[in-house]
């Protein structure tokens, strides 16, 4: 809900309020963002600036207005606000353009298709600014997603005068009190995505981002700001993300006046976007939330927002068998049929043919761009194979990397200029391949037509969309390239899901390099990481859970020793971790014994019992896995009737005493049964949340049934939670 009175504007969600005020200078002050407050109290929290509080510059005659210390909703620099601005627009002669507030409009709907706007907002307001001569305007778009406690903001520049450049365009600016808060960021690399880092914020700027064309494994666009004392379960925290898939940056600047400025948006280090008369540039939407219920509270809001406004194409994650680690490029009609037959026996929902199915693709040096089946591997064609797979009652999935071209390909030989290559300097490849320049409409059309031809001619139910290199040869050529590319990608994706609304879409970028709200706006799940070793995965999935629900994290049971880490894991541990996610496998099921086959059949059937509700589950980090020997995750059906708790014990500490696991999110007076592996506890919600469950210390004993290993570290216990009584 949006409340307005005189110069005050309050954006309310169910649990939060953001209060702004247009002041006498036409600046919009951010007076407050946090737990919900009464709009009637607005005067009480308006600062009284009767004395000079800061040693800075001020408008003539008003020493009390030191703008460098005022929390603002928008800053374009140049007027004595020495913090980094959200937006920089320049005349071609290099003059910075200054903007002043000019009004607001309620109930507007974005008119642009891309960057994508999350659906289903409850209220909207556009705050208008104008350059002094009136030729350039800025619109601050605020969309309120009331039930999810999320506010989205985008910034749009329109030029009606002579040509200008946009050199910075943040989606979001939020100024709040600094109060010795901390930044929680999610950095990593291939194979160790979403590793949580906590940074104390002192005076100065902390900035993270990725300039490589991806939301990236190096720095996920999701981040949090928390009070020092905030825990998983209590205390104030803010969460931020960007509805965009491309180069991005966020910064947190702490001023000497206890101010904190948070900016988030597209990468700007080389941005130089030319706007001619009549043109506009629109930032993606950034989203923000607040909770005083700790880090889980922020995650819960973000998860709710993702369920309801980012991935509303309701779908149950099918249990798929992917051929990549099982066979790599060594696939054939015969092998896929054998796998499909066994997959059916083991109760999988379908099979995904990964890389290697198209023209002469026997390793990663060739053929990207030639999306035609390889007749040597598939003599009867993939349509025929897909039909046989589907006749067995299985879903048919296929891999594609549509934005790429190999130098050794027919596409490259026909259109060498479609590849993003240096015109003058050295050519840089990644995995032997080039990115196609989809900012050119004929290239975008080719990419779209290729995808459509694969999906429609093979009757694919499921598409895995991969992207395996970073951008190069773009800086200096067109400084806005990454933005133009992301907009073009949006265009292809939106056409695809409009044409194939039932297509189940998995996103991958060498693992989790595109785990972002931009891609999730069109897809269902993201391949979380190529690293499927459970000990690594526990950190990767837990890191990912801060910003994204488990239902979006594709997680596989895979071979031991693990192909990426060469570490050994018990199958039980690997399956327990993967099953708190969108579960599947890439094991070679043709090479396992009966015992293992039976294990997989049981794991699939167990996952199937959670499949329905896991797609919209509430997810909690019960124990902070990064600071404890245990990682404990709890997932609950949205109706609270059932759930699961997964306890991961990293190393076995002999005689270390028991630790009570205190569940969360239960109805205090309802009766629950906790069941699984020698555990059978019945108690009320209050008891389970306050006293917790003391589990048998030696619960790793169940892994002793794994005949391949002796006593091991890294064991799991996965217990079902069932509500068996109401509020008695
Ligand atoms: C990278 C992905 O992360 C893998 O899962 C697999 O699809 C390969 N690409 C195929 O080339």
Say how far apart CA 586 and CA 600 lie, in whole Å: 12
Report the atom number in ligand 1 closest to the C-alpha of 530: 3
Q: Choose one of 352, 355, 365 to mutate for the ligand 1 pocket test, by most ligand atoms within 8 angstroms of C-beta.
A: 355
Task: Output the CA 446–ligand 1 centroid distance in Å.
Answer: 22
Look up the pTM and report it: 0.96
Q: How far is CA 369 from CA 357, 502, 507, in A?
A: 12, 25, 18
Residue with tokens 């969460």: 239
pLDDT tens readout for residues 372-394? 999 999 999 999 999 999 999 99
Q: For residue 141, what are the contacts with CB-CB under 8 A and spacing of at least 6?
A: 108, 110, 124, 126, 152, 153, 154, 155, 156, 285
Task: Output the CA 555–ligand 1 centroid distance in Å.
Answer: 14
The answer, yes or no, to whether any atom of ligand 1 lies below 6 A from the CB of 324, is: yes
Percent of the chain with pLDDT over 90: 84
Say how far apart CA 288 and CA 152 lie, in whole Å: 6
Task: Output the CA 336–ligand 1 centroid distance in Å.
Answer: 17
Q: Give the residue, by CA position, lying nearest to ligand 1 atom 9.
A: 510
Task: Output the CA 156–ligand 1 centroid distance in Å.
Answer: 37
Q: How far apart are the first and last CA of the chain?
A: 36
Report the atom number in ligand 1 closest to the C-alpha of 464: 7
Q: Choose one of 356, 432, 508 to mutate for the ligand 1 pocket test, by most ligand atoms within 8 angstroms of C-beta.
A: 508
Q: What is the pLDDT of residue 678?
A: 77
Q: What's the CA angle centered on 423, arms 419 and 429, to 5 degrees?
A: 50
Q: Give the residue, by CA position, lying nearest to ligand 1 atom 11.
A: 355
Q: Give the residue, by CA position, lying nearest to ligand 1 atom 4.
A: 510
The answer, yes or no, to whether any atom of ligand 1 lies below 6 A from the CB of 511, is: yes
Q: Which of 649, 633, 725 is nearest to 687 (CA)?
A: 725
Q: Choose one of 466, 528, 585 to mutate for the ligand 1 pocket test, by most ligand atoms within 8 angstroms of C-beta.
A: 466
- Using an 8 Å Cβ cutoff, are 699 and 715 in contact? yes
Q: What is the pLDDT of residue 56?
A: 74
pLDDT tens readout for residues 257-277? 999 999 999 998 878 899 999
Report the atom number in ligand 1 closest to the C-alpha of 510: 3
User: At 652, is the secondary structure helix, strand, or coil?
Assistant: coil
The answer, yes or no, to whether any atom of ligand 1 lies below 6 A from the CB of 433, is: no
The yes-or-no verdict on residue 476 having pLDDT over 70 is: no
Name the token pair of 620: 């909690």
pLDDT tens readout for residues 193-226? 999 999 999 999 999 999 999 999 999 999 999 9
Say how far apart CA 420 and CA 477 lie, in whole Å: 11
DSSP line for 101-156: EEEEEES------SS---S--SEEEEEEEEETTSSEEEEEEEEEEGGGTEEEEEEE
Q: What is the pLDDT of residue 704?
A: 42
Average pLDDT over residues 403-412: 98
Q: Give the residue, by CA position, lying nearest to ligand 1 atom 10.
A: 355
The answer, yes or no, to whether any atom of ligand 1 lies below 6 A from the CB of 305, is: no
Q: What's the CA angle centered on 24, arms 171 and 285, to 5 degrees?
A: 10
- Using pLDDT thresholds of 50, 70 and 90, give the confidence band for residue 709: very low
The answer, yes or no, to whether any atom of ligand 1 lies below 6 A from the CB of 355, is: yes
The answer, yes or no, to whether any atom of ligand 1 lies below 6 A from the CB of 354, is: yes
Residue with tokens 């005689």: 655
The yes-or-no verdict on residue 10 having pLDDT over 60 is: yes
Residue with more model confidence, 80 or 344: 344
Q: What is the pLDDT of residue 707?
A: 47
Task: Output the CA 355–ligand 1 centroid distance in Å.
Answer: 7
| Total Cβ atoms within 10 A of residue 605 | 12
Mean pLDDT over the full length of the chain: 93
- Using pLDDT thresholds of 50, 70 and 90, give the confidence band for residue 620: very high
pLDDT tens readout for residues 107-136? 999 999 999 999 999 999 999 999 999 999
Name the token pair of 35: 């737990």
Q: What is the pLDDT of residue 521?
A: 97
Say how far apart CA 204 and CA 206 lie, in whole Å: 7
Q: Choose one of 321, 515, 527, 529 to mutate for the ligand 1 pocket test, by most ligand atoms within 8 angstroms of C-beta.
A: 527
Report the atom number in ligand 1 closest to the C-alpha of 354: 7
Q: What is the pLDDT of residue 312?
A: 76
Which secondary-structure segment (H or E) carries 233? Answer: none
- Using pLDDT thresholds of 50, 70 and 90, give the confidence band for residue 659: confident
Q: Where are the beta strands (DSSP E) in 508-641?
A: 525-527, 553-557, 582-585, 618-623, 630-636
Task: Output the CA 59–ligand 1 centroid distance in Å.
Answer: 58
Say how far apart CA 501 and CA 517 lie, in whole Å: 18
Rounded to 5 degrees, φ, ψ at 372 are: -125, 140
Q: What is the pLDDT of residue 479?
A: 66
């Amino acid at each position: 809900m949006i409340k307005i009175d005189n110069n005050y504007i309050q954006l309310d969600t169910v649990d939060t309020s953001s209060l702004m005020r247009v002041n006498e200078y036409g600046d919009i002050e951010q007076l407050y963002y946090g737990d919900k407050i009464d709009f009637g109290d607005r005067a009480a929290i308006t600062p009284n600036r009767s004395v000079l509080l800061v040693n800075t510059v001020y408008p003539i005659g008003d020493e009390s207005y030191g703008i460098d210390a005022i929390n603002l909703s928008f800053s374009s620099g140049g007027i004595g606000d020495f913090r980094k601005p959200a937006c920089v627009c320049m005349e071609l002669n290099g003059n910075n353009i200054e903007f002043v507030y000019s009004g607001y409009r309620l109930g507007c709907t974005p008119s642009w298709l891309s960057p994508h706007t999350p659906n289903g907002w409850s209220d909207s307001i556009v705050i208008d600014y104008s350059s002094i001569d009136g030729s350039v305007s800025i619109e601050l778009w605020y969309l309120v997603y009331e039930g999810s406690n999320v506010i989205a903001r985008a910034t749009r520049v329109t030029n009606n005068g002579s040509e200008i450049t946009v050199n910075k365009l943040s989606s979001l600016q939020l100024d709040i009190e600094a109060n010795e808060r901390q930044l929680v960021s999610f950095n990593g690399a291939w194979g160790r995505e979403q590793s949580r880092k906590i940074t104390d914020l002192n005076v100065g700027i902390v900035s993270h981002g990725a300039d490589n064309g991806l939301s990236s494994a190096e720095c996920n666009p999701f981040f949090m700001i928390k009070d020092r004392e905030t825990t998983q379960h209590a205390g104030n925290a803010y969460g931020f993300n960007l509805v965009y898939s491309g180069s991005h940056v966020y910064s947190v600047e702490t001023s000497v006046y206890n101010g904190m400025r948070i900016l988030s948006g597209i990468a700007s280090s080389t941005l130089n976007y030319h706007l001619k008369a009549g043109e506009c540039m629109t930032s993606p939407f950034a989203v923000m939330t607040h909770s005083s219920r700790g880090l889980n509270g922020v995650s819960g809001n973000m998860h709710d927002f993702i369920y309801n406004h980012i991935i509303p194409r309701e779908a149950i994650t099918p249990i798929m068998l992917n051929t990549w680690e099982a066979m790599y490029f060594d696939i054939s009609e015969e092998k896929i049929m054998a796998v499909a037959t066994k997959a059916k026996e083991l109760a999988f929902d379908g099979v995904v043919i990964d890389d290697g199915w198209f023209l002469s693709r026997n390793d990663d040096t060739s053929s990207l761009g030639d999306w035609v089946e390889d007749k040597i591997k598939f003599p009867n064609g993939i349509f025929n194979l897909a039909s046989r797979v589907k006749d067995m009652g299985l879903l048919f999935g296929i891999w594609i990397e549509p934005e790429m071209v190999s130098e050794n390909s027919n596409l490259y030989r026909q259109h060498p200029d479609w590849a993003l290559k240096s015109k003058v300097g050295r050519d840089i490849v990644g995995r032997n391949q080039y990115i196609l320049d989809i900012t050119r409409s004929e290239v975008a059309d080719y990419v779209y037509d290729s995808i459509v031809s694969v999906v429609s001619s093979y009757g694919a139910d499921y598409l895995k969309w991969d992207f395996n290199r970073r951008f190069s040869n773009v800086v200096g050529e067109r400084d806005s390239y990454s933005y133009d590319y992301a907009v073009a990608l949006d265009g292809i994706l939106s056409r695809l899901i409009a044409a194939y609304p039932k297509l189940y879409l998995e996103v991958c970028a060498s693992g989790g390099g595109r785990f972002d709200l931009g891609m999730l706006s069109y897809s269902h799940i993201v391949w979380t990481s190529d690293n499927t070793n459970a000990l690594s995965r526990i950190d990767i999935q837990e890191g990912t859970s801060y910003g994204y629900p488990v239902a979006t994290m594709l997680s596989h049971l895979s071979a031991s020793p693990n192909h990426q880490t060469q570490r050994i894991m018990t199958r039980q541990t690997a399956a327990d971790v993967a099953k708190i996610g969108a579960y599947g496998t890439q094991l070679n099921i043709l090479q396992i014994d009966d015992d293992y086959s039976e294990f997989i059949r049981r794991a699939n059937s167990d996952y199937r019992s959670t499949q329905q509700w896991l797609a919209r589950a509430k997810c909690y980090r019960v124990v902070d896995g990064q600071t404890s020997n245990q990682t404990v995750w709890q997932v609950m059906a949205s109706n609270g009737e059932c759930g699961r708790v997964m306890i991961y014990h990293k190393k076995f500490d002999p005689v270390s005493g028991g630790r009570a696991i205190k569940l969360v999110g239960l109805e205090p007076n309802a009766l629950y049964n906790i069941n699984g592996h020698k555990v059978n506890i019945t108690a009320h919600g209050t008891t389970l949340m306050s006293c917790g469950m003391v589990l048998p210390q030696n619960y790793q004993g169940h892994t002793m049934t794994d005949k391949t290993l002796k006593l091991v570290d890294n064991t799991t216990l996965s217990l079902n939670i069932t509500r068996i009584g109401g509020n008695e």
